[in-house]
Amino acid sequence: MPATIQNPGEQQPLDDTMGVMYIGVMISAVFYGISLVQTAYYYNRYPNDPWYLKYLVAATLVLDTIHLACITHTIYHYTITAYYVKEELTVMVWSVLAEAVPTGVSGTLVQCFYTVRVWQMSKKNYYLAGLILIIVFTNAACGTAWVIISLQMKTFTDLLTINPLTISINALSAAADVLIAASLCITLYRAKTGFKRTDTTISILITFSANTGLATSMCAMASLISLLASPETLIYALFYFCIGRLYTNSLLVALNTRKAIRGTEDEHKMVSIPSSVVSPPTTHKSRSQNLSVRIDTTQEYAFDSKSNHMTLEGNDGLDGTP
């Protein structure tokens, strides 16, 4: 969320204001390009996914597009259009406030997606999923309140009055991400079976879960720390402008790696086949003999496209991240 900014009309360095905002826009644009590639890959590779997953991916991409348009308009307005108009440089342009909406909605959607995964993997633990949802929707409520209140303000300095709300939003976002990642990792760790290939697959899933939560939570924490340490600058924007892209890309990585994260485990079975089946008859009488042939069968760990969780085909279901 936008904090404060010194009067750009005064003689001052722009490195910690418009400079960091510009860097944030550039990095966000790079992540947006990555999400475009991942989205195209998803629709091409998983055409049979449930409709709600396809709509979720489409919704996050649309929200990312709106957010990128807003922050691009913001930096263009302050560095080009109104840079030499001193009065305009202290007034918040509409896009600097509007950009908070798509980021908040996108983050809420992705966190709800992972909450469902936690619920499935934890054997429908309503208490754990409920706790996560309370944090997620409290964060969404704070974000909604921030937008409504900030729309009634005119200058960046006015936003100092709602700094506690801004801090709460970043803290709740980080808390939800950490709790989701920790829940996924612990549940997956408990699902280990002792079989090498199964445990290897689970270890990969644990790594993905930890890295996903780590990226978004660290970005939220960096934004929070920057806001607390330097509220008169826009250093926080370097991180906040990117957090929406991280949510979208984490969702797409989770969906696109379902076919890649597959393990196989061989089982060897001995099947007795009469020797007459594999050898021609002879004129000599002999005892009936059986020929033992080893048949290798493979069990595949795959992801059910409908339920969107990992199952062990031919065995009991093993829940995992999408």
User: For residue range 174-201, what is the model confidence (pLDDT) as tens digits?
Assistant: 999 999 999 988 888 887 777 777 777 7
- Beta strand spans in the chain (E): 264-274, 290-303, 310-312
- pLDDT, residue 317, reads 32
Distance CA 271, CA 235 (A): 69
CATH number at residue 146: 1.20.1070
320 located within any domain: no
- pLDDT tens digits, 256-311: 988 877 643 333 333 433 444 344 444 444 444 444 444 444 444 444 434 444 44
Exposed / middle / buried, residue 199 (Cβ in 10 Å: 0-12, 13-18, 19+)? middle
In total, how many domains does the chain have? 1
74 located within any domain: yes
Residue 254, token pair as written in the block? 């989770």
- pLDDT tens digits, 219-243: 989 988 998 888 888 888 889 999 9
250 located within any domain: yes
Pairing between β-strand 264-274 and β-strand 290-303 as defined by DSSP bridges? antiparallel
- pLDDT, residue 312, reads 36
297 located within any domain: no
Note down the domain range covering 235.
18-257
Distance CA 230, CA 228 (A): 6
Share above pLDDT 90 across residues of the chain, in percent, rounded to a whole number:
44
231 located within any domain: yes
- pLDDT, residue 256, reads 92
- Expressed in angstroms, the distance from the first to the final Cα of the chain is 30
122 located within any domain: yes
